[in-house]
Amino acid sequence: MNLRIGDQAPNFSANTTEGKIDFHDWLGESWGVFMSHPADFTPVCTTEIGRVANLKGEFEKRNAKVLVLSVGTKPDLAPLDSHREWIKDVNETQNANVDFPLVEDANKQIADSYGMIHPNASDTLTVRSVFIIGPDKNIKLIISYPASTGRNFAEIIRVLDSLQLTANYQVATPADWVSGEDCIVVPAVPTSDIPQKFPKGHTIIKEYLRTTPQPNL
């Protein structure tokens, strides 16, 4: 499926390492970070899952739940057993405690519904996809990395901050923005309305480029 930003995230029911879930029900009113990785018991994936586990507090502060999918499991184990055995390695080697769900998707139905398999890269394994999903169950961000490149989770946290900020205020975030820095007032706000909407102050650089301190701090 060719999903785009703004589309509703496909719902699914699945068995996971944390029990059976209905995806939309499991998300509830939280934000979701739904990721795929190529295979269990592989080196880059091991570092990624460990990193996510060690960032648990950062995701929780942002009311975000993490869910991970892979169709590449150990051949001599059932898919969930493969995930569970691999989690032991992740915890050991990355000094982590993985307690978020890893999804069973042996028939690749979920991976296919999210377009996580890119046939020109591999027709059997998922790439490193990231979907950020809002409480309204709509897709807010899509990023795909090749198997050779581990994800930058600082960037994923940064984008989550931006998405949550801009969902509630009439601002956008400039290049390389991180939480705490000035934001851009969106063009839809007349300059005459800025003092009322953004009482912390503002700077007019150009008629179309107005900045203001981050409004939710």
Q: Is the dihedral of CA 70, 60, 140, 184 positive or negative?
A: negative
In angstroms, the CA 116 to CA 3 distance is 10
Contacts of residue 25, Cβ cutoff 8 Å, sequence gap at least 6 = none
Find out whether 198 and 217 touch, Cβ atoms under 8 Å: no
Identity of the residue numbered 148: S
Handedness of CA 122, 40, 36, 48 (dihedral sign): negative
Backbone angles phi, psi at 93, to 5 degrees: -85, -25
**Token pair for 65:** 């739940």
Q: Enumerate residues 6+ apart whose C-beta is below 8 A from 92.
A: none
Catalytic residue among 27, 35, 39, 45: 45
CB-based contacts of 28: which residues, under 8 Å, 6+ apart?
135
What is the Cα Rg of the chain in Å? Answer: 19
| Beta bridge partner(s), residue 141 | 132
The conformation of residue 63, written as its DSSP 8-state character, comes to T
Residue 183 falls in the annotated catalytic set? no
| Catalytic residue list | 45
